């Protein structure tokens, strides 16, 4: 559990850094004199996702303890889902951050030109579809791998408390993305993962990832719906 708590803490720190990166004026400067990207775009595309996805991979390896299920069909299948999800998530960041920068810099005043229509479509739609597909695959794989490799020790009250504490950061990230902007496909993505995690928690009991994801997604989902209702 120490490794699990550490890796979830990394995700919590990344969630805070993502907010600081997006909200801070210090990231609006250009990375190079040729102005190919701002620091906010560079960090969102390469630095922060790389840390987050590396921690997720290490979390997956921590969950996969030695058991008869190792290298079985279910294990191999969810590993494949995880790898494909990682690729799609990375591809979505590469598409979104570049086109978002171009959209904001060059297309706000001329959205109907052929070039800007392509840029805006990649920024606002295509990159989102790819991201949500990858996001679902990666997180569903973590949940289902926890199902294949249940934690072998009883969770202490401290363990549950730390899982819930870390889940607050993910839930806050969900709230920040869903609560104060127009809701689209992302609502259904979060609702799907919230439902899957709650179902697994109900059927299989107190497993670390079931507790973490159920708390995070339901807190984020309920908070977002309340925030949208009072806007």
pLDDT, tens digit (0-9, with 9 covering 90-100), for 163-202: 999 999 999 888 877 766 677 788 889 999 999 999 999 9
Indicate if the pLDDT at residue 223 is higher than 80: yes
Mean residue pLDDT across the chain: 92
Name the phi and psi angles at 154, rounded to 5: -70, 140
Quote the pLDDT of residue 185.
Answer: 80
Residue 219 CB neighbour total at 10 angstroms: 19
Quote the pLDDT of residue 156.
Answer: 93
Residue 178 near residue 190 (C-beta atoms within 8 A): yes
Indicate if the pLDDT at residue 90 is higher than 90: yes
Residue 53 near residue 30 (C-beta atoms within 8 A): no
Indicate if the pLDDT at residue 56 is higher than 70: yes
Q: What is the pTM of this model?
A: 0.91
Indicate if the pLDDT at residue 54 is higher than 90: yes
d(CA 181, CA 41): 20
Averaged pLDDT for residues 135-161: 94
Residues across the chain = 231
Quote the pLDDT of residue 227.
Answer: 82
Q: Nearest 5 degrees, angle CA 185-CA 40-CA 168?
A: 55
Res. 34 pLDDT band, cuts 50 70 90: very high
Indicate if the pLDDT at residue 110 is higher than 90: no
Q: Nearest 5 degrees, angle CA 197-CA 207-CA 49?
A: 60
More confident residue, 22 or 209: 209
More confident residue, 231 or 141: 141
Quote the pLDDT of residue 178.
Answer: 75
Quote the pLDDT of residue 41.
Answer: 96
More confident residue, 225 or 125: 125
């Amino acid at each position: 559990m120490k490794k699990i708590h550490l890796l979830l803490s990394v995700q919590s720190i990344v969630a805070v850094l993502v907010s600081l990166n997006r909200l801070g004026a210090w990231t609006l400067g250009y990375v190079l004199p040729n102005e190919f990207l701002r620091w906010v775009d560079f960090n969102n595309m390469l630095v922060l996702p790389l840390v987050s996805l590396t921690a997720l991979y290490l979390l997956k390896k921590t969950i996969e303890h030695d058991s008869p299920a190792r290298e079985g069909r279910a294990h191999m299948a969810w590993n494949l889902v995880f790898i494909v999800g990682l690729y799609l998530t990375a591809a979505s960041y590469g598409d979104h951050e570049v086109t978002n920068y171009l959209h904001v810099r060059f297309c706000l005043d001329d959205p109907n030109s052929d070039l800007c229509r392509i840029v805006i479509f990649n920024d606002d739609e295509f990159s989102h579809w790819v991201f949500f597909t990858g996001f679902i695959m990666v997180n569903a794989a973590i949940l289902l791998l926890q199902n294949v490799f249940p934690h072998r020790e009883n969770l202490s009250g401290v363990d549950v408390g730390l899982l819930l504490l870390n889940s607050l950061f993910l839930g806050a990230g969900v709230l920040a993305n869903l609560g104060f902007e127009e809701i689209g496909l992302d609502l259904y993505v979060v609702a799907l993962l919230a439902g899957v995690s709650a179902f697994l928690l109900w059927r299989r009991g107190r497993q670390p990832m079931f507790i973490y994801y159920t708390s995070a997604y339901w807190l984020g989902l309920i908070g977002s719906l309340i925030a949208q209702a009072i806007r």
